[in-house]
Amino acid sequence: MPYVLTRYAESAFRQIGSDTQILWGREQAAKYLNRLRSGFEQLAQRPDRGRPIEVPQSTLQFLMFRVEQHYIVYAKLDQHRVAIAAVLHQRMDVPKRVAEIPRKSIDEINRLMGRKTS
């Protein structure tokens, strides 16, 4: 698979689907989640599309890219694979939420890169 979601990102993705379904219905939720998945795949094809963003709790290089109403925070695993660390709504306090990405998510990405974790 060209992208991997951390548990934290997977939880956010599922919540987005649930919230969208409640507000707009099942069909719209499916369409929106498909657009987010398409965005993940586009990032895997061209991982340098995002702009650098500091994740204070990590030394990894993270990037951020907007897809629809959400920001995708991710790290490049290799030339054609990315790890999605977080999926954040545009109305959130993005810098604050980025600083709250759990250490476990950072460790997941480090393991995917073959690095030792803390």
Tokens representing residue 20 in the block? 């969208």
Q: How far apart are CA 21 and CA 55, in angstroms?
A: 31
CA 114 to CA 111: how far, in whole Å? 5
Helix (H, G, I), strand (E, B) or coil at 16: helix
Q: Is the dihedral of CA 83, 89, 95, 99 positive or negative?
A: negative
Instruction: For domain 3-112, give the CATH number.
Output: 3.30.2310.20
Tens place of pLDDT for every residue, the chain, 118 residues?
799 999 999 999 999 999 999 999 999 999 999 999 999 999 999 999 999 999 999 999 999 999 999 999 999 998 889 999 999 999 999 999 999 999 999 999 999 998 877 6
pTM of the model: 0.93
